[in-house]
Structure 1
Amino acid sequence: MKVIQLIDSVSTQFTDAGLVFGHGTDNANDEAFYLVTSVLDIPHDEAGLHFDREVLGEDIKRIEEFVIRRIKDRVPVAYLVNRAWFAGLEFFVDDRVLVPRSPLAELILKRFSPWKEQGTIHRILDLGTGSGCIAVAAATAIAEALVDAVDISEDALEVAAINIKNCGVSERVRLIQSDFFVNVPEVFYDIIISNPPYVSEIEMSELAPEYRQEPVIGLAAGSDGLKSVLSILHDASNFLANDGILVIEVGNSQDTLESYLPDVAFTWLELELGGEGVFLLNKEDLVTHQSKFKVK
C-alpha cells in the first residue's frame, strides 16, 4: 500500500467512526495525514514527494494499531505519536500535558507587534506552561528575551523540560513550579502571557471523549470557568513592568468574563489565523480594577 492510499484509508475510518477533532486538526483527512506522516517520519513540507512510496508491512501494522486506539479509546493523535506543532516548532507531548493548539502562536510569531516595540521585550512570564510550547516559542521568536515558565504540575514541567532542551533554549527558559505567582521571583516582566484553565463545570461535563484524555488540571476552572483567570488578574500588576502587557486566552469564557467585569476595558485581539477569546490589558488597567479581580 502506498502512503497516499494509507492516508485515504485512515481518513475513511476516522470519518465513519464519527470522531471529534480539535487537537491540531479539524477534519478526518488532516488527522489521517498527521498520524501517517508522523509514524513514517515524513516532514510535512515534503509529504507530496512520498505519497507514492510503498509502506512497509510493519509500519502499516503500527498505524493500524494507532487507528484502533484513536477510534476505540478516542486518544488524540498527538498522544499516540508523541508529537505536536506550535508556532512552527515541533514538541514532544503525552497525556501529562494539554495538546498545543492555542491561537496565541500567531501573536508570538508577530513578536507581540503592534502591542510591544521590538527591542523592548526582555523578560516574559508564561503562566501554566504545560508542554512549554508558549515559553519555547516566545524564546525562539524573541532571541533577546529571558522566559520564566510556570506550572503547578511536576509532570507538566518534566515534559516542558524535554521541549526546552530539544528546541535549544535551555539558557533562556527557566522552569518554576508554582501555583501561578506564588513562587515567581519578584521581578518585573515586559509580557505576562497565559493560556490558563478556563472550562466551566457544565462545559467539563459535556466534553467530547477526546478532550477527556487531557489532564483535568489544565482545563477545569471552577463553576463558571473564571477561577484561574481572576487569580492571574488579581496579582499580575505586582509583576508587570510599567509599560508591560498581560495577554490571556479565555476561549469560550469570554462572554462570562465580560459579564462579570463590565467596567474593565478588555482589548480583545482579532487574530488572522482564527481563534477567539484572547484579551490584552496593560498595568494601568490592572491596578485600576485590582479590587474587582476576586475569585468567586
Structure 2
Amino acid sequence: MNRVSDQMRISPVGKAGKDLCGMTGSARGPAAGDKTWTVLELLKWTTDYFSRSGIDSARLDAELLLAHALETERLRLYIDYEKPVLPEERDRYRALVQRRARERVPVSQLLGVREFWSLTFEVTRDVLTPRPETETLVEFALSKAVAVAQDSDSVSPFRILDVGTGSGAIALSLASELPLAQITATDLSKPALQIAAANADRLHTRERLRLLEGDLFQPVASERFDLIVSNPPYVARADIGSCPPELSHEPEMALFAGQDGLEVIRRLVAEAGDHLSPGGWLGIELSPEQTERVEEELVQAGFVDVERRFDLASRPRVVGARWPMK
C-alpha cells in the first residue's frame, strides 16, 4: 500500500475531455466519427487530457490503456507510432480513458492486472493494487530468509507467514524466489483469498501456498514461523479527505486502520511474538510518518534488532525486528 499521503487533486473535466469521452465529437478530440488518429496522436492528446485532470502518471497511464485497447505490448506503441487506430479500437480506448479520468478508476483495475516483482497479478476491487513500494518488504523478507537459513542448522523447511495477503503479491513473490519455503497466507476477506488463489494458479505455485481465512493470526493460532511479513492497512481515517480519489475503488478494510492508522499494526506487533520461532523476523510495511512509533511498539513488545528499510524515494517504508533467541 502506498502513495496514500498524496494530496487529492481533481480538475474539472474540460471541453477536451468531453470531446474524447463523450459521443459528440470534435476536431480536438478523437471521438467517434472524427478523422483518423495515429498511435502517437492519441498518446499526446490523452497525456495532456490526463495531466489537466490531475493524474500524475499521465503518459504512463495513456500508454498502458492504449496498449490494452490495441491488444498489443506497450513497446509496440513506439514501433508503430504512425499506425492509424481503427474506429473500434478507438472506441475501446475512449471508454477506458473516460473511466480513468472521470471516475478515477485505477489503471490496474481497468486492465485487470498489475505487474509486481516482475510477475503479473490479477487485480479487482476486492484487493489492494500492489504498489512498487511494497517490493521493499519483499526485499527485506528475502534478506532475512537468507540470513536465518545461514545461521540455522535445522533441516526443517523455512516457514513464512504473510498476514493480510490480499492479491497474494508478497507471498507469491517470495514463493518465486524461495522454492523450498513453506508459505502460509491469511486474509479476512474471502474474495481476496479467491484472487490470491487465482494468482497462485497463474504463477504455478498453488501447491506451495496455503491460504487461510481469518483475522490476522487467528487461522494459525498454535503455529510458529521463521518469518512473518505484512502490508496491513495503515491509513488514518482522519486523513481520508486528503487521499487520492483512486482509493475509493479499493477495499476500505485493506486501507484504513483507526484514527491514527496504527490500529492493526499495534495488534500485529503485540501478537507476532506468539507466532515466531526464536530468532525469527517480523517485517511490516507502513507510512513513513509512523516509523518511530512502530519502532517503539516493537521494543516494548520484546523485539530486538529493530531496523528500517527505505523505498526507492528514500523514505522509510518497512520496519523489521527479530524475536529473541531465548
Same fold? TM cut 0.5: yes
Matched, 1:86 2:116: yes
The code of the aligned residue for 1:80 comes to L
Q: Distance in 2 between matches of 1:64 and 1:206?
A: 29
**TM-score of the superposition, structure 1-length normalised?**
0.85
Q: 1:164 is paired with a residue of what secondary structure? A: helix
**TM-score of the superposition, structure 2-length normalised?**
0.77
Matched, 1:277 2:317: yes
Matched, 1:183 2:244: no
Q: Distance in 1 between matches of 2:282 and 2:213?
A: 20
| Contact kept in structure 2, 1:246 and 1:282, CA below 8 Å | yes
Q: 1:241 is paired with a residue of what secondary structure? A: strand
**Structure 2 equivalent of residue 99 of structure 1:** 129
Q: What does 1:210-225 align with in structure 2 at a 5 Å threshold? A: 210-225=246-261
Q: Which one of 90, 105, 115 corresponds to residue 60 of structure 1?
A: 90
| Contact kept in structure 2, 1:199 and 1:253, CA below 8 Å | no
- State the Cα deviation string for residues 224-275 of structure 1 (Å, max 9, x = none): 1111111111111111122221110011442572586495573111345655
Seen in structure 2, the aligned counterparts of structure 1 residues 94 and 258 have a Cα distance that, compared at 3 Å, is closer
The code of the aligned residue for 2:111 comes to V
**Structure 2 equivalent of residue 12 of structure 1:** 48
- State the Cα deviation string for residues 65-84 of structure 1 (Å, max 9, x = none): 11111111111111111111
**Structure 1 equivalent of residue 59 of structure 2:** 29
Seen in structure 2, the aligned counterparts of structure 1 residues 111 and 181 have a Cα distance that, compared at 3 Å, is closer
Q: 1:210 is paired with a residue of what secondary structure? A: helix
The alpha carbon displacement at 1:131 in A equals: 0.9
5+ residue gaps, structure 2: 1-36, 151-156
**Structure 1 equivalent of residue 239 of structure 2:** 203
**Structure 2 equivalent of residue 70 of structure 1:** 100
| Contact kept in structure 2, 1:189 and 1:244, CA below 8 Å | yes
Seen in structure 2, the aligned counterparts of structure 1 residues 145 and 42 have a Cα distance that, compared at 3 Å, is farther
CA RMSD of aligned residues (A): 2.6
The alpha carbon displacement at 1:158 in A equals: 1.5
Q: Distance in 1 between matches of 2:191 and 2:253?
A: 11
State which drifts further: 108-117 or 118-127: 108-117
5+ residue gaps, structure 1: 22-26, 288-296
The alpha carbon displacement at 1:50 in A equals: 4.1
The alignment of Structure 1 onto Structure 2 pairs a total of residues equal to 280
Larger Rg: 2
Q: Distance in 2 between matches of 1:149 and 1:134?
A: 9
The alpha carbon displacement at 1:55 in A equals: 2.9
- State the Cα deviation string for residues 131-179 of structure 1 (Å, max 9, x = none): 1111111101111112111110111111111111111110111111010
Matched, 1:251 2:291: no
**Structure 1 equivalent of residue 154 of structure 2:** none
The alpha carbon displacement at 1:91 in A equals: 0.9
The code of the aligned residue for 2:260 comes to D
Q: 2:218 is paired with a residue of what secondary structure? A: coil
Q: Distance in 2 between matches of 1:149 and 1:139?
A: 11
What is the percentage of aligned positions where both structures have the same residue? 30
The alpha carbon displacement at 1:191 in A equals: 1.3
Matched, 1:267 2:307: yes
Matched, 1:162 2:195: no
| Contact kept in structure 2, 1:150 and 1:175, CA below 8 Å | yes
Q: Distance in 2 between matches of 1:3 and 1:276?
A: 40
The alpha carbon displacement at 1:48 in A equals: 3.8
| Contact kept in structure 2, 1:39 and 1:81, CA below 8 Å | no
- State the Cα deviation string for residues 32-90 of structure 1 (Å, max 9, x = none): 12222233343346654343444332121111011111111111111111111111111
The alpha carbon displacement at 1:110 in A equals: 7.3
| Contact kept in structure 1, 2:164 and 2:186, CA below 8 Å | yes
